[in-house]
């Protein structure tokens, strides 16, 4: 850590990890309801549990990006943050809005649009938080050195906020509603979040492999171009069967198939950089998360996404457990792992702890990743059976659910293992490092 | 002498990459105009042929006429690639990739045509 | 510039790391061998894949309904299509001349050729609009049939690229140096090349 103001990232990282834990807990509860349908049904209905699970996910990922930006911007721009104080206020505002939203959900205040359930005042609060963030970071960027990494990251974060504005538009026609809904959901995860992913991975590669910045930046530009080229029109894969015109099938088929390419490019990028630059960075765990992120994102988003992205296949699989399988592995591989990579990288510096317990962290990596992969497989099997029985043979929905109950048990089992793995990761990041405290200044040789 | 069209096209021409033999400004205007004449000429010719023999019935083309049409199109595409886009000897590997692209289109479209001809019988 | 990598890597064994010194030029993985900016070639390759996929999709869709496709195709104006082919081929020639001019540092000449290229691009668009106009007057729209959906999508995407190409030509005309002109004209040639493939597949084959 070279700049004092990078420390504000700690708030965000701890906040994100807290919500991460909550997200997983609620996931396990939701998985339990799947096999014991009456659990909590009076106290906390399934839809609310699910809402907290998915909203906590989105919010902690965003919080992680904020933290990552506050950590890496000073280093990239070679200047202190514009206002660390404002960053801290922004954090507490964000936390308050999140808490208010959760309480609201439990009491039944929500808008019922998946991922965007937040009641209007909360949405406004989110926009205020985003504006504070963008103001703070943009001024930092403007006064300092401008690098490709920081430019791409900031452009992406601006678009994250701009696209969120579509969340305010909620037409009563359900098809139109869904059309705009995907502007947020799809254009986030398959558009600008990909840029965030590429730029943070680029930052990590520069720091950890020693490959020249110039080389990394070129890769970054290529990955960014490919993401936008394919991702924007790839939105078409959500417009197959929701009442939008038929030409979307052609557009969606072609462009969303190509969405695999940028994810593949990110795998090649990470491994090539590590191969070229060497692996002698002491933070092996962070390197593991970075490489793992690119690989699991490729499988979750690329392979599992492609699996149901052709309209002729999606005709049968739309909205089945196959979608849930893909949603889990894609979100985990791309964005959960990305955040854990930058957290694992940054925390030892932020806390001046070195060496810290990497072993536990890496065990957490393998356990969590394997369990998420297993969960994905079980959901995929459930989805294939469901598609066949329900969509091909025409059995009714609830009958089919009974047929796949075994898979839901296995999903719950995998979920419990995920919970264990995540506990290990969080423990290793927050509590475990018991090594001698080294002050940040002491371990930075003169440059 | 127009080196590009006569020699450089397929052989591993070393001299074309050295600047001594061309005028130092890449593609000569002679070559460029020649390429243009060739491409436009085939276009005009096929338009004339089409207009003369055009019964506009929409009957399916046999494999040979279809192949001719696609060859003319691919030739034009290749001329543009090789001369206008400048995929000269310095870009050997890339030239291969682009030619592969043309071959895939050519083969794919004709395979579809062949399939339809077979099913039509 | 100071080294970016974390300082930790500068152990005493750093001599063991065999970083091959990277020249900036080899960093594009070979793309730098092509004229213009390497990122343009990333775009060109992506565009070719997309248009290629669309043309193959079109051919595949035609297998399902050869008669319907042939019937719909009778509504297309092949002469207009042929004229547009000539227009684009000629504009490509002008673009080549623009590059030659800038290599001789003749900026004005370069701009004149670029303007010529752009004018022909506009002619192309006008012809295209006339074509669309007659279709629409005849009541043929985007959702009339699979043939016309694909016809509008593919030629529409292509026309959109012509519009973008005009923008690109304009931008490089404002800042004319060799890299910029080569980059801009490379995009234009790509558009040209896509059209000479779209034309036979959609207008001529039946
Ligand atoms: C990291 C990137 C990605 C994430 C986080 C992600 C996440 C998701 C999620 C959560 C859903 C479910 C949305 C809902 O209906 O509630 C979904 C749907 C879908 N995704 Fe992705 N996705 C990603 C990338 C991709 C890619 C690259 C493809 C295609 C190659 C793809 C194809 C699809 C398709 C076709 C659906 C619709 C499924 C249906 O009809 O039910 N996704 N995605
Ligand atoms: C980091 C790990 C996780 C991520 C990124 C994640 C992400 C998601 C997402 C994106 C959805 C919405 C899916 C859709 O719209 O199709 C979802 C729903 C769900 N998740 Fe998770 N989740 C994670 C962990 C878990 C765990 C450990 C469990 C425990 C079993 C779980 C159980 C569920 C359940 C039951 C649903 C509701 C599915 C439905 O409505 O049918 N998740 N999760
Ligand atoms: Fe999507």
pLDDT per position as a tens digit, B55-96 = 666 778 889 989 999 999 999 999 999 999 888 776 778 888
Encoded tokens for A255: 């462009």
Which residues are CB-neighbours of C82 under 8 A, at least 6 positions away?
B43, B44, B46, B47, B50, C199
A63: its two tokens: 């919080």
Chains in touch with C (≥3 Cβ pairs < 8 A):
A, B
Nearest CA in chain B to C178: B25
Task: Quickly tell me which residue has 């970071």 as its tokens.
Answer: A137
Question: Which residues of B8-68 form beta strands (DSSP E)?
Answer: none
Quote the number of domains for chain C.
Answer: 1
What CATH number should be reported for the domain holding residue C113?
1.20.120.80
- A interface mutation test: which of C45, C50, C51 has the most A CBs within 10 A? C50
DSSP letter (8 states) at residue A437: B
C-chain residues near B68 (CB < 8 A): none
* 3-class SS string, C67-101: HHHHHHHCCCCHHHHHHHHHHHHHHHHHHHHHHHH
Beta-bridge mates of residue A353: A437
DSSP state of C15: G
Residue A440 falls inside a structural domain? no
CA distances from A25 to A19, A63, B24 (A): 10, 18, 69
pLDDT at residue C27, rounded to an integer: 65
Q: Which of B35, B73, B85, B87 to mutate to test the interface with C (most CBs of C within 10 A)?
A: B85
Residue A407 domain flag: yes
**CA dist., res. C146 & res. A315, Å (int):** 18
pLDDT value at residue A446: 36
Residues with CB under 6 A from ligand 1: A 114, 189-190, 237-238, 256, 259-260, 297, 301-302, 305-306, 308-309, 314, 318-319, 323, 326-327, 330-331, 334
Would you call C205 and B61 a contact, using CB atoms and an 8 Å cutoff? Answer: yes
A431 touches chain C (CB under 8 A): no
Cβ-Cβ contacts under 8 Å, C113 against chain B: none
Task: Quote the CA–CA distance of A74 and A77 in Å, as a whole number.
Answer: 5
Q: Which residue of A has its CA nearest to C41?
A: A222
Q: Which domain holds residue A49?
A: 4-432
Nearest Cα to Cα of residue A356 among A257, A286, A307: A286
- CA C154 to chain B, closest CA, distance in angstroms equals 15
Is A216 domain-assigned?
yes
Tokens of A189: 């995860």
Q: Is residue A368 part of a domain?
A: yes
State both tokens at A299: 């499988």
Cis before A340 (ω within 30):
no
Query: Shortest CA distance to B113 belongs to which of C59, C146, C196, C200?
Result: C59
Report pLDDT for C28: 77
Tokens 């906390």 map to which residue?
A44
Say what the pLDDT of residue A439 is.
47
Domain contains C185: yes
C-alpha atoms less than 13 angstroms from C-alpha of A386 in its C-beta half-sphere? 24
What's the token pair of residue A211?
């490959």
What does residue B94 show for φ and ψ, rounded to 5 degrees?
Answer: -65, -40
Q: How remote is the CA of residue A31 from the centroid of ligand 2, in Å?
A: 8
Of A240, A257, A326, the one to substitute when testing ligand 1's pocket (max ligand atoms within 8 A of C-beta) is A326
CB A29 within 8 A of CB A49: yes
Which sign, positive or negative, has the C-alpha torsion A380, A383, A384, A385?
positive
- Cα(A364) to centroid(ligand 1), Å: 26
Residue C97 lies in a domain: yes
Q: How many domains does chain A have?
A: 1
A229 in a domain, yes or no? yes
Which residues between 76 and 95 in chain B have a beta carbon less than 8 angstroms from any beta carbon of chain C? 76-77, 80-81, 83-87, 90-91, 93-94
The residues near B49 (Cβ < 8 Å, ≥ 6 apart) are none
A380 Cα–ligand 1 center, Å: 14
Please answer yes or no on whether B116 and C186 come within 8 Å at the CB atom.
Answer: no
Give the number of other CB atoms < 10 A from CB of residue A441: 9
In-domain check, residue A148? yes
Q: Can you give the pTM of this predicted structure?
A: 0.89
Q: How many CA atoms lie within 13 A of C49 on its CB side?
A: 17
Residue C151: give the domain boundaries.
39-57+74-204
Q: Which two structure tokens, joined as six digits, stand for C17?
A: 């790391």
pLDDT per residue of chain C (206 residues) written in tens, 0 to 9: 445 777 654 433 333 333 344 444 456 777 877 888 889 999 999 999 999 999 999 999 999 999 999 999 999 988 899 999 999 999 999 999 999 999 999 999 999 999 999 999 999 999 999 999 999 999 999 989 999 999 999 999 999 999 999 999 999 999 999 999 999 999 999 999 999 999 999 999 88
CA–CA separation, A347 and A12 (whole Å): 11
Closest CA to A327 of A211, A155, A186, A157: A186
Q: Which residues of A touch C3 (CB under 8 A)?
A: 210, 447
**C1 domain-assigned:** no
Question: What interhelical angle do B29-52 and C78-103 show, nearest 10?
Answer: 180
d(CA A172, CA A35): 34
Output b/e per residue, A189-198; b: 16+ Cβ within 10 A: bbbbbbbbbb
DSSP string, A45-100: -HHHHHHHHHHHHHHHHHHHHHHHHHHHHHHHHTS--S-HHHHHHHHHHHHHHHHH
Is the Cβ–Cβ distance between C75 and C138 less than 8 Å? yes
Which CATH number goes with the domain that contains A189? 1.20.210.10
**The predicted structure's pLDDT at residue C141:** 92
Q: How many CA atoms lie within 13 A of B90 on its CB side?
A: 15
The one-digit pLDDT tens for each residue of chain A (447 residues) are 789 999 999 999 999 999 999 999 999 999 999 999 888 888 899 999 999 999 999 999 999 999 999 999 999 999 999 999 999 999 999 999 999 999 999 988 888 888 989 999 999 999 999 999 999 999 999 999 999 999 999 999 999 999 999 999 988 898 899 999 999 999 999 999 999 999 999 999 999 998 999 999 999 999 999 999 999 999 999 999 999 999 999 999 999 999 999 999 999 999 999 999 877 888 999 999 999 999 999 999 999 999 999 999 999 999 999 999 999 999 999 999 999 999 999 999 998 876 567 899 999 999 999 999 999 999 999 999 999 999 999 999 999 999 999 999 999 999 999 999 999 999 999 986 555 554 444 444 433
Cα maximum dimension of chain C:
79
On chain A, the residues whose CB falls within 8 A of the CB of C11 are: 280
Given its phi and psi angles, is residue B56 left (phi above 0), alpha (psi -120 to 50 degrees) or beta?
A: left
Three-class SS of residue A353? Answer: strand
Q: Do B72 and C201 touch (CB under 8 A)?
A: no
């Amino acid at each position: 850590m070279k700049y004092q103001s990078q420390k504000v990232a700690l708030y965000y990282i701890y906040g994100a990890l807290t919500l991460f834990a909550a997200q997983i807990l609620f996931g396990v509860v939701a998985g339990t309801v799947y096999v014991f349908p009456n659990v909590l049904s009076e106290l906390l209905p399934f839809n609310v549990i699910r809402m907290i699970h998915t909203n906590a996910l989105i919010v902690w990922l965003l919080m992680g990006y904020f933290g990552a930006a506050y950590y890496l911007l000073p280093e990239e721009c070679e200047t202190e943050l514009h206002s660390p104080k404002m960053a801290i206020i922004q954090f507490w505002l964000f936390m308050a809005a999140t808490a208010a939203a959760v309480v609201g959900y439990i009491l039944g205040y929500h808008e019922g649009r998946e991922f965007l359930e937040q009641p209007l005042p909360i949405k406004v609060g989110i926009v205020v938080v985003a504006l504070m963030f963008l103001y703070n970071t943009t001024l930092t960027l403007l006064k300092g050195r401008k690098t490709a990494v920081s430019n791409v990251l900031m452009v992406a974060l601006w678009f994250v906020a701009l696209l969120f504005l579509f969340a305010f538009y909620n037409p009563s026609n359900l098809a139109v509603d869904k059309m705009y809904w995907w502007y947020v959901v799809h254009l986030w995860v398959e558009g600008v979040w990909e840029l965030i992913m590429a730029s943070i991975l680029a930052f990590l590669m520069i720091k950890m492999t020693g490959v020249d910045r110039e080389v990394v930046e070129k890769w970054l530009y290529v990955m960014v171009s490919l993401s936008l080229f394919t991702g924007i029109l790839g939105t078409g894969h959500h417009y197959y069967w929701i009442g939008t015109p038929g030409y979307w099938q052609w557009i969606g088929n072609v462009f969303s198939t190509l969405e695999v390419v940028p994810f593949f490019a990110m795998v090649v990028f990470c491994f090539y950089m590590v191969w070229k630059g060497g692996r002698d960075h002491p933070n092996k765990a962070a390197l593991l998360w970075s490489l793992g992120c690119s690989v699991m994102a490729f499988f979750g988003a690329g392979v599992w996404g492609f699996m149901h992205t052709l309209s002729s296949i999606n005709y049968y699989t739309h909205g089945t457990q196959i979608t849930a399988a893909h949603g889990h592995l894609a979100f985990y591989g791309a964005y959960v792992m990305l955040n854990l990579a930058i957290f694992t990288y940054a925390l030892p510096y932020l806390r001046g702890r070195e060496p810290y317990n990497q072993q536990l962290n890496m065990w957490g990596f393998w356990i969590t990743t394997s369990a998420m992969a297993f969960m994905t497989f079980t959901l995929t099997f459930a989805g294939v059976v469901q598609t066949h029985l329900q969509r091909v043979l025409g059995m009714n929905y609830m009958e089919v659910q009974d047929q796949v109950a075994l898979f839901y048990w296995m999903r719950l089992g995998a979920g419990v293992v995920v919970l264990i793995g995540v506990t290990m990761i969080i423990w290793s990041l927050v509590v475990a490092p018991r090594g001698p405290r080294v002050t940040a200044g002491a371990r930075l040789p003169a440059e | 002498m127009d080196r590009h069209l006569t020699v450089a096209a397929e052989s591993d021409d070393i001299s074309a990459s050295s600047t001594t033999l061309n005028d130092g400004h890449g593609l000569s205007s002679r070559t460029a105009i020649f390429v243009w004449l060739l491409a436009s000429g085939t276009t005009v010719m096929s338009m004339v042929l089409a207009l003369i023999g055009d019964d506009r019935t929409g009957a399916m083309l046999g494999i040979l006429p279809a192949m001719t049409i696609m060859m003319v199109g691919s030739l034009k595409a290749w001329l543009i690639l090789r001369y206008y886009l400048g995929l000269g000897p310095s870009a050997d590997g890339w030239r291969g990739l682009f030619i592969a692209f043309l071959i895939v289109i050519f083969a794919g479209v004709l395979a579809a045509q062949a399939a339809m001809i077979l099913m039509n019988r | 510039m100071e080294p970016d990598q974390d300082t930790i890597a500068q152990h005493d064994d750093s001599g063991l790391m065999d970083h091959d010194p990277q020249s900036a030029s080899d960093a594009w993985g070979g793309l730098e061998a092509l004229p213009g900016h390497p990122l343009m070639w990333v775009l060109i390759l992506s565009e070719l894949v997309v248009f290629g996929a669309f043309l193959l999709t079109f051919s595949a869709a035609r297998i399902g309904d050869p008669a319907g496709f042939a019937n719909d195709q009778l509504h297309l104006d092949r002469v207009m299509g042929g004229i547009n082919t000539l227009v684009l081929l000629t504009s490509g020639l002008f673009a080549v001349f623009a590059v030659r001019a800038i290599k001789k540092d003749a900026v004005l000449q370069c701009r004149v050729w670029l303007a010529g290229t752009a004018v022909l691009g506009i002619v192309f668009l006008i012809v295209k609009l006339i074509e669309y106009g007659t279709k629409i007057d005849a009541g043929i729209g985007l959702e009339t049939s699979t043939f016309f959906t694909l016809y509008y999508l593919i030629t529409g995407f292509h026309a959109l690229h012509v519009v973008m190409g005009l923008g690109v030509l304009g931008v490089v005309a404002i800042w004319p140096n060799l890299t910029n002109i080569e980059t801009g004209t490379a995009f234009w040639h790509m558009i040209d090349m896509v059209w000479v493939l779209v034309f036979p597949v959609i207008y001529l084959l039946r």
